[in-house]
Amino acid sequence: MFEWISDNRANIALVIIIGLLIAFVWSIRTGLKETRLRAKDEVFGDPERTRGGWYWAVCGVSALLLVWFYYSWGTARAVFPKAANELCQIAKIDEALSPVSAALPITSRYLKSTTLVVRNRAQIVRLQENVPVNALSASEQARLLAALSQTDMMISMLSDPASVDAAAVAALADIEQDILQLADRLNQGYAGMLPTAEALAQPKWGTGELEIALLPMTPRGVLFDSISQDVVPIADRFLKIRNLSPEMQATIASTAAILKELKDAGPELQLDEALTKDRKAYIKAVERIFKRIDDANIFPSEVMQGVDAAVATLFVAVDDAKGGLGVAEALFFPGSGIIKSRTQCTEQGSGRWLPKPTDVVATFASLANPDLESGGGYKGTTLLWWKWLNIADVVGFLIPDGLVDILPGTYGTHGPDGDFKPHYKDHLLALAQGDVYLGSIPMLDGHIWDSMFRVLVAMAFGVFLGVPLGIYMGVSRFFKSFFDPLIELYRPVPPLAWAPLILTIFGIQDDGKIFLLFMVAFAIMVISARTGASGTQLSKIRASHSLGATNNQILRHVILPNALPEILTGVRIAIGVCWGTLVAAEMLAGTTGIGFIENVARTVSDYELIWVTILIMGLLGLMFDLVMRWAISRLIPWRGKG
């Protein structure tokens, strides 16, 4: 079942997209109709105008999902499931031709020759102007400048159609012809071409190991694939062409001789260490520029025109051969298209970093699969499941070993016969260390639970310690003034700034994270409880005094309930902040949790997983907030009505 859904995700996406389109259009129509109906009863600014309107929610959600489908190329895959494979074949042509097109003003604005000429000329001028006169004798200077001006002359020779190497011109003409021939073949179409059985057996787009299958699966793809294979030797030949006319060779030889002599001879002047270094560096710079030019891959622009035109013709032919595919690419592949690099074809732009909604669901389903052996979960932990928890572990965690140490009595020692007779303290110690079997209870488990557990434990500590302190700070001058500086000093520090310190002290496991979150929750709870307590109306306090309540009763029965709305708002804020801090803390260190998954996904650029974790965090945050909103409306119905 799951396999079938996974294999047919493109078709399922198509059904969903059609449904979304219908929902989108329908909701707009309904919305407009409703608006027209109500327009008469409402004036602008009337708060009633914001009530209802769920059809606009449908409109917004479907629009969002449609945009997601579109920019993730989910629509492209649903409508043209084979387009990616065909575009991959075209990308192969681009890849094979890239040595040629890199030399032409196709991938950049200028001919590669132009760029080389301009850059090297500028460097020659700079070297000529910056001769280290102290490090070189007059004759050395003269010879280096001669080498430079000869190099400069070589650039002129390479750029001049009059002095260009005839063999190179002929080779370029051959390449031009071969490329034009390929264009011709493209124009003849792909009649009779058939994909191989091996190619057809490849997994569909997005379902296999490779995102996009490499072998051509359509006749058109076969044509592009065969052209790309023929481009490879042409490009190889192109790379080997050198503009080496006889004069050029002579100049190269004489310049090389000058430089070799200079290098071999050693300095003519007495030089200290720094100047020796200067001399060496200057000669090396001159030599480097000479070596670049003696590659002789600069050609006059007129000579390149033929190849340039041929490549342009080939691209036109590719575009013509694309036919409907070109339209599909323009309409449904926003971003940068598909490129081939060595072993695989990859989606670029939004297609790359925005996973398709259906793929996200598939990734989520595989994460949520609790069966670790069949590849579910992540890094050996389920997403959210349950396990048997040893009660002894909990007891051991709660009872500190030191508590047993301070009890009266002694630990057992071994007797003369080598037997160990445990005392009662030894039994207690075993309990405190969790070494006794006390049975098991079912307990939640998994990355999500680990994250939630940390937040919930930290919140529990934060509330039970923060609220009483906050209340006392709200009513007592001593508590307020004594604790205010402490809390106000640590609270403004962003929790993540504490993280490296806290994680070092308490360890990267739960303890450190829980303490970090506790710090966050504690400050928020103290401040909200304090605000709530100090906001109690004086008349209510006086009324309760007059009714005979004691101070403690007033705290418990008047100030606490009065502060409850603020406290619950504080809990709501604290949960949100804790959640945000937790995920970041998990990214810093740890081996479980949602933030941990995202951190690993980030290092391997698994965009689907990154999005899945983002969505899980969003949904869990939303869930926390909804629970809190529900709790607030249930627990304090009087809020804002006092």
Q: Which two tokens stand for residue 240?
A: 């080997």
Structure letter (DSSP) for residue 558: I
Backbone angles phi, psi at 528, to 5 degrees: -70, -40
Task: Report the site for another protein in 562-581 (rule: CB under 8 A).
Answer: 562, 564
Of residues 239, 29, 25, 258, the one with CA closest to residue 149:
258
Tell which one of 271, 285, 399, 636 touches another protein (CB under 8 A). 636
Q: How far apart are CA 476 and CA 470, in angstroms?
A: 10
Of residues 187, 178, 189, the one with CA closest to residue 310:
178
Q: Least Å distance between CB 533 and another protein?
A: 14
Q: Least Å distance between CB 542 and another protein?
A: 6
Q: Which two tokens stand for residue 228?
A: 């790309």
Q: Which lies closer to another protein via its Cβ, residue 336 or residue 553?
A: 553
Task: Report the site for another protein in 462-501 (rule: CB under 8 A).
Answer: none
Q: Least Å distance between CB 569 and another protein?
A: 15
Binding marks (x or -) toward another protein, 600..619, rule CB under 8 A? --------------------
Regarding 641 and contact with another protein (CB under 8 A), the answer is: yes
Q: Least Å distance between CB 580 and another protein?
A: 31
Q: Least Å distance between CB 633 and another protein?
A: 14
Q: Least Å distance between CB 537 and another protein?
A: 7
Q: Which lies closer to another protein via its Cβ, residue 423 or residue 545?
A: 545
Q: Which lies closer to another protein via its Cβ, residue 481 or residue 605?
A: 481
Q: Which lies closer to another protein via its Cβ, residue 231 or residue 564?
A: 564
H-helix or E-strand spanning residue 345: strand 344-347
Q: Least Å distance between CB 470 and another protein?
A: 18
Q: Which lies closer to another protein via its Cβ, residue 139 or residue 551?
A: 551
Q: Least Å distance between CB 640 and another protein?
A: 9
Regarding 555 and contact with another protein (CB under 8 A), the answer is: no
Strand 344-347 relative to strand 338-341, pairing: antiparallel
Q: How far apart are CA 96 and CA 230, in angstroms?
A: 9
Q: Least Å distance between CB 638 and another protein?
A: 4
Between the alpha carbon of residue 158 and those of residues 28, 310, 384, 503, the distances in Å are 66, 22, 69, 64
Q: Which lies closer to another protein via its Cβ, residue 288 or residue 556?
A: 556
Q: Which lies closer to another protein via its Cβ, residue 374 or residue 539?
A: 539
Tell which one of 53, 306, 334, 561 touches another protein (CB under 8 A). 561
Secondary structure string (H, E, C) spanning 141-204: HHHHHHHHHHHHHHHHHHHCHHHCCHHHHHHHHHHHHHHHHHHHHHHCCCCCCCCCHHHHCCCC
Between the alpha carbon of residue 503 and those of residues 398, 487, 514, the distances in Å are 21, 20, 10
Q: Which lies closer to another protein via its Cβ, residue 283 or residue 564?
A: 564
Q: Least Å distance between CB 544 and another protein?
A: 7
From 8-16, 370-378, 550-558, 573-581, give the range in contact with another protein by CB under 8 A: 550-558
Q: Which lies closer to another protein via its Cβ, residue 532 or residue 593?
A: 532
From 117-125, 328-336, 468-476, 560-568, give the range in contact with another protein by CB under 8 A: 560-568
CB 463 within 8 A of CB 564: no
Q: Which lies closer to another protein via its Cβ, residue 416 or residue 642?
A: 642
CA 183 from centre of chain: 40
Q: Which lies closer to another protein via its Cβ, residue 74 or residue 565?
A: 565
Binding footprint of another protein, residue count (CB under 8 A): 23
Beta bridge partners of 442: 388
Tell which one of 558, 578, 583, 601 touches another protein (CB under 8 A). 558
Beta bridge partners of 106: none
Q: Which lies closer to another protein via its Cβ, residue 148 or residue 564?
A: 564
Q: Which two tokens stand for residue 619?
A: 């949904």
Q: Least Å distance between CB 547 and another protein?
A: 4
Structure letter (DSSP) for residue 47: G
Tell which one of 550, 551, 605, 633 touches another protein (CB under 8 A). 550
Q: How far apart are CA 479 and CA 308, in angstroms?
A: 82
Q: How far apart are CA 201 and CA 205, in angstroms?
A: 12
Tell which one of 388, 411, 490, 638 touches another protein (CB under 8 A). 638
From 79-87, 325-333, 554-562, 572-580, give the range in contact with another protein by CB under 8 A: 554-562
Of residues 459, 463, 441, the one with CA closest to residue 451:
459
Q: Which lies closer to another protein via its Cβ, residue 439 or residue 637?
A: 637
CB 24 within 8 A of CB 66: yes
Q: Which lies closer to another protein via its Cβ, residue 539 or residue 603?
A: 539
CA 558 from centre of chain: 51
Q: Which two tokens stand for residue 551?
A: 């101070």
Q: Which lies closer to another protein via its Cβ, residue 207 or residue 536?
A: 536
Binding marks (x or -) toward another protein, 530..549, rule CB under 8 A? -------x-xx-xxxxxxxx
Q: Least Å distance between CB 57 and another protein?
A: 31
Q: Least Å distance between CB 48 and another protein?
A: 23
Q: How far apart are CA 508 and CA 527, in angstroms?
A: 28
Q: At which residue do the structure tokens 């102007």 appear? A: 129
Regarding 553 and contact with another protein (CB under 8 A), the answer is: yes
Instruction: Quote helix, strand, coil % in the chain, to nearest 5.
Output: 70, 5, 25
How many residues in the chain?
Answer: 642
Q: Least Å distance between CB 475 and another protein?
A: 16
Binding marks (x or -) toward another protein, 184..203, rule CB under 8 A? --------------------
Q: How far apart are CA 319 and CA 327, in angstroms?
A: 10
Q: How far apart are CA 116 and CA 111, in angstroms?
A: 9
CB 100 within 8 A of CB 233: no
How far from each other are the two terminal CA atoms of the chain, in whole angstroms? Answer: 57
Q: Least Å distance between CB 568 and another protein?
A: 12
Q: How far apart are CA 617 and CA 598, in angstroms?
A: 10
Tell which one of 33, 423, 557, 629 touches another protein (CB under 8 A). 557
The residue ranges that bind another protein (CB under 8 A) are 537, 539-540, 542-550, 553, 557-558, 561-562, 564, 636-638, 641-642
